[in-house]
Amino acid sequence: MTIAIIAHDGKKADMVAFIKDHTELFQKKHIQLIATGTTGSHLEKAGLEVQKMESGPMGGDAQIASRRSAELTPKPGGRQDRYGHLFPRSAG
């Protein structure tokens, strides 16, 4: 699972503190972090591993949204239920 971290300038410190307080849970659940550039830089400075996109004003939030949209696009051989949930093609 991947969680996107996007924070306004006045909330970046609070977001970093929240992530640090829950690092053990993220590691236990194998949760990866992706963030806009500046927020990601704050997380890295705090010793956290994060995949950084561009900063928000440079389109980082749009990059994250685009990645999510691509994940939800049905792949050839995959199937989708009436609620939009995707199911990968079975391996067999």
Q: Is there a contact between 5 and 39 (Cβ–Cβ < 8 Å)?
A: yes
Q: Which fold has domain 2-87?
A: Rossmann fold (3.40.50)
Residue predicted with more confidence, 90 or 4? 4
Residue 62 is encoded by which pair of tokens?
Answer: 């749009």
pLDDT in tens, 7-65: 999 999 999 999 999 999 999 999 999 999 999 999 999 999 999 999 888 888 888 88
pLDDT of residue 28: 93
The reply to whether the predicted model has a pTM over 0.85 is no
Check residue 88 and report its DSSP letter.
Answer: P
Domain ranges across the chain: 2-87
How far apart, in whole angstroms, are the C-alpha atoms of residue 20 and residue 91? 37
How far apart, in whole angstroms, are the C-alpha atoms of residue 7 and residue 14? 9
Neighbour count for residue 63 (Cβ, 10 Å)? 18
Catalytic residues: 61
Q: Tell me the average pLDDT across 67-86.
A: 64
